Structure 1
Amino acid sequence: MTEFDTDTPWLPADAGPEFDPLEHFDALPDGNTPLVVTPRGGAREVGRSCYQVDTEHATYLVDCGLRQGSGETFPDFRGLSIEGVDAVFLTHAHIDHCGGLPVLEANGLLDDDAPILATPPTIALAKLLLEDSLHIHRRETQRPGTEQRFDRQHVDAVFERFEPVDYGGGRVEPFAPTPDEEPLVFQYGNAGHLLGSAWLMLQTGGYRVVFSGDIGGRATHLPDVQSPPGADVLLTESTYGGQHSHTSMHDARSGLFAAVAQAVENRQPVLIPTFAVGRAQLLQLLFKERFTSHPGDIGSRVQLVVDGMAQDATEIYHEYVLDDTYMDESIVNRAKNSGQDRPFLPDGAGFPRNDEERRELLTDTDPLSGGTVPVVIAPSGMLTGGHSPRYLVEFAARFEDAKVFLTGYQSKGTTGRTLQNYLDAGEEEVTITTDATPFGTDWPSSDSVTWTRVETDDGFERTTRATVPTEWIETVDGLSAHAAQSGLLKFARAVEPSTVAMVHGPDYAQDHLARHFGKNLDSAEQVTRSRLLTPIPVSRDIELDTPTLTPKQFERGPDRLRNQVKTLHTEVASLNEELAALRHDEGTWSESDLRRLVREEIREAIDTDGDT
């Protein structure tokens, strides 16, 4: 069973493995509240997105991911019963949305016939990412004191559950082992974030909730985001909610290519750690286009290297270059009219399959003696797992000068965030420790990289320590596939929700986005930052147990807030005696009634003060 975080103050101190958030918060679905959404991950964090959706007849999950970096890796499954999940809706294939599926399987929480619904490209990419995740999980759990949470059989069982659905939807009952009377309807629409990515709408009993998934609309090779339907509640991602808008994708692409071209002119090897799915293909398409159109012969002076899972993901992308449902028309037309059916494959790129080939590529490229300059695209984007940390170590050992371009979000606890923090702090160099094994030890004489023997409970294990000058590191803004405030607001205005719950974002980003929505989203009566294991009822008279902000509150300054505090103190004092009497009036007032009374009194006090 998943370990749980005891630092969650909104949960009771004795909340154990059997803790059921719906029962604790008295939030079971009924005729007045036909849908209840409970975050099991992705609440006030980036990673392990997972949301339980309960109706009167069934239980579903929307996504089930893992988190890279520090902290609990997988969703919190407390309170889910064995075989209690009737279906999973997967919005897209990134590992922070699908990586927890094998643990869900291993814990026996899926009904025997429960499907995992996703678009065909999402299924193909998710299989690729889950295979890699299994490899990483096995390696990481070889360390003493770590538990292997899933194995080969669980990954294979997940693959058997995948059920392909295109954009659109219908009743869930034909897909899932739900009662005949289950009226739940679902709808998928293109989210423009990743090949096959989707937002999701769920509807039952006349009420609707929309899950944004990850909203994009920025990649030149993907279709535009489809407009979602109206809904009562919107659960929206907020990864870049603290940023009003990104640098334009055109400018970001041009800026990165110019920086890479300058590095090539300076004979500096280049490493671009990247997400294997989505970002890697964007970069490959960029170099495919610019190497041939750039004045001069830069393409002939570069040895482009595409490594790891990015290779296999690119092959999946090429399977859809003639399908304008999942690929932008410009790509489709290019493939049809010019015969370029492999647009994500740059000419002359190297695709190493083993360490011997990797060593050869780096040995043969000697920038200082006139050889080609290596430009390496390698997962992972945060330098945790994959081959990118291995290339970083090799660069530190082999080259006096190099460039490392960080092109995406870096989670806390990752090597990428460490590099970013030292750069921001103005430090001259940063020393990292990684379990990434080098391609070999035939380096030139170098003090920058050492192998370290670390004592463990069952002996010793080897780790690699590398020192990297911070002048090598550059962050590149504007390549993110996540929408910023402007894009998220456009999406929210299409939904016109009365309630918005922020998910999948750091605290500061959610705070900024909540205020932006409060001032600019006219339909929103309340905006909240969701929190772990705290149910969100979906009805037209929603009462949330998370703090909410209304548009009126966003406009109030410090003086108004001080007046409200005074008013609240007065109201709380006057309520004390009433509450004590009501609690002892057996059979008349439940705890939920008392909480509701307190909220109404406080809300009335705030509204009265706000109108004076």
Structure 2
Amino acid sequence: MSHTVDIKHHGAVLGVTGSCHEVRVGDAGILIDCGLFQGTDFREDLDIDFEIAHIRALVVTHVHVDHVGRIPYLLLAGFTGPIFCTEPSAILLPAMLEDALKFSAKHSKSVAKQVLKQMQRQIRPLPFDQWQALLGTEIKFRFQQAGHILGSAYVECDAAGKRVIFSGDLGAEDSPLIVNTTPPSPCDVLILESTYGDREHPSRVDRRLRLKSEIEQSFVDQGLVLIPAFSLGRTQDLLYELESIIHDFGQDKVAEHLPWHELEIIVDSPLAANITRLYGDLKYHWNQDAQDLLKQGRHPLIFPQLTVIDGHEDHLLCLENVLKSDKPAVVIAGSGMCAGGRVVNYLKELLPDARHHILFVGFQAEDTPGRVIVENGPRFDGVELLTDGKDDYAWVELDGERIAINALIHNIEGYSAHGDQSDLLQFAQAISPAPQQIRLVHGDLEAKLALKAKLTALLPDVEVVIPLIEDAG
């Protein structure tokens, strides 16, 4: 006997983070993601606040913490069902959550260890494009390539004869290492992310040359270049493109008396080091361009100019050495929004000194130190130094200290792993016949409203709704 299908949203409805959605048919349901709330969405209490007794499985789209960070809380709430994810995600997920649990004030080391062991037992890797049925239910699902990070997927779910697609996070074409998004099949309902629903990204085609130019400009002042970057996805993208620059422009000068092929690239982050190693182990999941580099004897994540710093003592020694050295270097350190991690130690030393340059390559959320630095620090627009006419010196609070921002700030766009408005519209329009309904999640209200207006104009017969803002039906 067929039942009605109920779709609920337990996160990513008021903002960008905390993705968690439910499909229920009768007395059985599944969750799509169980993510952490961050930035302006931050919640002190992350305990699971919805019924889970009927949840038969958790289906993970990808392993960014805003999609998986609440899994420990789900397990502690009593969930013992399978955790389905793609094969790369099954490798990456334990590393991401182990790192997240290190900084959890709520969970002791023994509890964190127990949760990780339990999660490992529950993980069920699935290949892309393979249907998985849940016995005793009217639910089945499969993963399709989402083009966001390695292993990322959108989920096609059949529930009591109704087809629902959960986009997860969608990427843009031509991302380093990542296979492009698979065109979607017909569905009745599309749950669509809207992170960049109100904007377009600059071209990815020339961003490598913009990165090269910004680094060369930075070394004119004979300081260091610091790049705050997320350990998963962004760091690997940067390494891929830096290796490419070194290969193609190795004899060109990056600084006075220093050719590109002698420039030291330092990755100082234990999580980034681990994720980069795992990315290397998963090279059979890379896209064709990256596979071709391997066949040529090049490795875009491991090259002679690269130094990877793991242990804490090595980090302190590296920081001391780069500060004493007069040789240019590029340091990539986490976290990407400067809210914690080793990048804070570098910032405290480098920000007050006008010789140094801080190069941002990712979105800086409101109320983060990264946003303060980008908005208030001096920056160069290619012609002149800009300070926005501020009379008082700019500063940012790091570890409870006010740190002056005298270093020059750069901001290179085009490195987001998310698709922009055009990518989201293209995904929705590729569904033929068009879905009956599109629900917009995982975005700020302005982005959702802008995307809704575009979708309504392009797909006039489709009901486009914003859950919790409008009646989702």
Q: TM-score, normalised by structure 1?
A: 0.69
The aligned counterpart of 1:311 is 273
Secondary structure of 2:364's match? Answer: coil
Shift of 1:119: 0.8
1:63 has 2:33 as partner: yes
* C-alpha contact 2:30 2:58 (8 A) present in aligned 1: yes
- Superposed structure 1 runs of 4+ greater than 4 Å apart: 73-76, 147-150
Contact between 2:214 and 2:410, CA under 8 Å: does it hold in 1?
A: no
1:347 aligned onto 2:318: no
**The residue matched to 2:447 in structure 1 has which SS?**
helix
Asked whether the 8 Å contact 2:32–2:61 carries over to 1, the reply is yes
The answer as to whether partners of 1:379 and 1:388 remain within 8 angstroms in 2 is: yes
| CA contact 2:27–2:54 (8 Å) conserved in 1 | no
CA distance in structure 2 between the aligned counterparts of 1:364 and 1:131, rounded to whole angstroms: 30
Residue aligning to 2:467: 530
Q: Determine the C-alpha separation between the residues in 2 that align with 1:66 and 1:376.
A: 28
| 1:150 shift after superposition | 6.3
Cα offset, 1:373, TM superposition = 1.4
Distance (whole Å) between structure 1 residues aligned to residue 405 and residue 138 of structure 2: 58
State the secondary structure of the residue aligned to 1:234: strand
1:417 aligns with 2:371: yes
* CA distance in 1: counterparts of 2:185 and 2:238, whole angstroms: 33
Partner Cα distance (1:331, 1:74) in 2: 42
Aligned to 2:55, the other structure's residue is in SS state: coil
2:51 aligns with 80
Structure 2 matches for 1:363-512, cutoff 5 A? 363-365=320-322, 371-396=326-351, 399-422=353-376, 426=388, 427=390, 429-435=393-399, 463-469=400-406, 472-495=408-431, 496-512=434-450
Secondary structure class of the residue paired with 2:208: helix
- Counterpart for residue 290 of structure 2: 331
> Is 1:287 aligned with 2:228?
no
Cα deviation for residue 378 of structure 1 reads 1.3
* Residue 302 of structure 1: how far off its partner (Å): 3.0
Q: What TM-score does the superposition give when structure 2 sets the normalisation length?
A: 0.88
Q: Give per-residue Cα distances to partners, 1:45-94, cap 9 Å, x unaligned.
A: 1111111221114121100111233431676733314x432100000011
Shift of 1:223: 1.4
The question of 1:513 aligning with 2:471 is answered no
- In structure 1, the partner of 2:471 is 545
2:262 is aligned with 1:298:
no
Distance 1:474 1:530 in 2: 37
C-alpha displacement of 1:311: 1.0
Contact 2:89 2:152 in 1 (8 A): yes
Equivalent residue runs for 1:82-121 within 5 Å: 83-108=53-78, 110=79, 112=80, 114-121=81-88
Contact kept in structure 2, 1:429 and 1:468, CA below 8 Å: yes
127, 146, 155: which one aligns with 1:166: 127
* Contact preservation (8 Å) 2:377, 2:405: no
- Give the corresponding residue for 2:384: none
| Contact 1:202–1:209 (CA under 8 A) maintained in structure 2 | yes
- Partners in 2 of 1:184 and 1:419 — Cα distance? 48
Q: Deviations along 1:556-605, whole A, 9 cap, x unmatched?
A: xxxxxxxxxxxxxxxxxxxxxxxxxxxxxxxxxxxxxxxxxxxxxxxxxx
Distance 2:45 2:110 in 1: 10
How many residue pairs match? The answer is 452
Give the deviation of 1:412 after TM superposition: 2.6
Per the alignment, do residues 366 and 148 of structure 1 end up closer, same or farther by CA in structure 2, a change over 3 Å counting? closer
Deviation digits for residues 134-154 of structure 1, max 9, x if unmatched?
11113xx59xxxx99963322
Query: What secondary structure does 1:54 align onto?
Result: strand
Please list every run of 5 or more consecutive structure 2 residues that lacks an aligned counterpart in the other structure. Answer: 379-386
Deviation, 1:359, is 3.7
Q: What SS class does the counterpart of residue 39 from structure 2 fall into?
A: coil
Q: Is the 8 A contact 1:103 1:154 kept in 2?
A: no
Residues 1:249 and 1:149: Cα distance change in structure 2 (over 3 Å): farther
Distance 1:421 1:506, change over 3 A: farther
Q: What is the aligned counterpart of 2:20 among 40, 44, 50?
A: 50
Q: Judge which range, 92-101 or 148-157, deviates more.
A: 148-157
Q: What SS does the aligned partner of 1:53 have?
A: strand
Q: Which amino acid aligns with 1:78?
A: D
* 1:500-522: CA deviation from partner (whole Å, max 9, x where unpaired): 11111111111111111111135
2:188 aligned with 1:232, yes or no? Answer: yes
Are the equivalent residues in 2 in contact too, given 1:121–1:196 (CA < 8 A)? yes
Question: Alpha-carbon deviations, 1:418-466, whole Å to 9, x = none?
Answer: 223435993464433333xxxxxxxxxxxxxxxxxxxxxxxxxxx4442
Q: CA–CA distance in 2 between the matches of 1:279 and 1:356?
A: 25
Structure number with the higher strand fraction is 2
Deviation at 1:346, TM superposition (A): 3.4
TM-superposed CA distance for 1:523, in Å, is: 4.7
Secondary structure of the residue that 2:309 maps to in structure 1? coil
Q: What's the secondary structure of 1:151's corresponding residue? A: helix
RMSD: 2.6
User: In structure 2, how many angstroms separate the alpha carbons of the residues matched to 1:390 and 1:498?
Assistant: 51
- Which 5+ residue runs of structure 1 have no aligned equivalent? 1-29, 436-462, 535-543, 549-612
1:174-323 to 2 correspondences below 5 Å: 178=135, 180=136, 182-218=137-173, 219-243=175-199, 245-294=200-249, 295-296=252-253, 297-299=258-260, 302-308=263-269, 309-321=271-283, 323=284
CA distance in 1, matches of 2:91, 2:341: 19
Asked whether the 8 Å contact 1:170–1:186 carries over to 2, the reply is: yes
Cα pair 1:50 1:75 within 8 Å, conserved: no
Q: Letter of the aligned partner of 1:492 in structure 2?
A: A
